[in-house]
Structure 1
Amino acid sequence: MTTMTHQPLDARRVFGGVDTHKDVHVAGALDELGRLWGTGSFPTTAGGYRQLWRWLRTDGDVVAVGVEGTGSWGAGLARCLTAQGVDVREVMRPNRQHRRRDGKS
């Protein structure tokens, strides 16, 4: 099941970020000033990747998308976005030992 929130803004340049998981990818979209305009959850299927791409393009031109784990769970999404001409940037996962030792925030 896909869930999305969306708050349209005047900005036309969109930046995306995707937290990848085995069964669902969670995406966020920001405008060029860093304002969050929406989040969405999408299945990790070819259809889900296309839904995510369409959703990101709703209110502007997608400049770049950061995808966590392009070598694992994010690989299919990264290929899909790259095929659409998107500037895909790999986002490194945080070190688990460091995160547990120092906390998430």
Structure 2
Amino acid sequence: MNDSGQTRSGHVVIGVDTHKHVHVAAVMDTIGGILATLTIPTDTGGFQQLLNWASSFGKVLAFGIEGTGSYGATLTSFLRRAGHKVVEAGRPDRR
């Protein structure tokens, strides 16, 4: 990871766009910059890969997950069982 001179807090937030077969995650620093993205399958192996990847960027403050009651439900429960804070991410206005 290159350092552009900005001070990083070592804390990150992970946003997850959920779909039926894959989820797409983005790791953001505390000043809102996207550091990287990752696409994972929607199974336990993919969820573990997401956790390992997210942790490699620093302390994860929270996961913002789209559709915690639908496509993101299984991931939400996996992350909560692992002790992480999960919040429902707002869906974009489709109009």
Name the TM tier (shorter chain). Answer: 0.7 to 0.9
In structure 1, the residue matched to 2:83 is 85
1: CA distance between counterparts of 2:40 and 2:13? Answer: 17
Q: CA RMSD for the aligned pairs? A: 1.5
Which residue does the alignment assign to 2:62? Answer: 64
1:8–1:59 contact (8 Å) kept in structure 2: no
The 1-side partners of 2:92 and 2:31 are apart by 25
Q: TM-score, normalised by structure 2?
A: 0.87
**Structure 2: which 5+ residue stretches go unaligned?**
none
Indicate how the Cα distance of structure 1 residues 95 and 48 shifts in structure 2: closer, same or farther if over 3 A, else same: same
- Asked if residue 49 in structure 1 is aligned to residue 47 in structure 2, the reply is yes
Measured after TM superposition, the shift of residue 85 of structure 1 is 1.3
The change in CA–CA distance for 1:71 and 1:55 in structure 2 (over 3 A counts) is same
Superposition TM-score, scaled by structure 1 size: 0.79
Which residue is equivalent to 1:27? 25
Query: Taking every aligned residue pair, what percent have the same amino acid on both sides?
Result: 44
**Secondary structure in 2 matching 1:86:** coil
Q: What letter corresponds to residue 31 of structure 1 in structure 2?
A: D
Distance, in Å, in 2 between the alignment partners of 1:59 and 1:92 is 24
Deviation at 1:54, TM superposition (A): 0.7
Which has more radius of gyration? 1
Question: Could you say which residue in structure 1 is the equivalent of 2:10?
Answer: 12
Q: Which runs of 4+ in 1 moved over 2 A?
A: 7-11, 92-96
Over 3 Å counting, the alpha-carbon distance change for 1:80 and 1:39 in structure 2 is same
- What is the SS of the residue equivalent to 2:57? coil
How many residue pairs get aligned? The number is 91
Of 18, 38, 41, the residue aligned with 1:40 is: 38
| CA positional deviation for 1:95 | 4.4
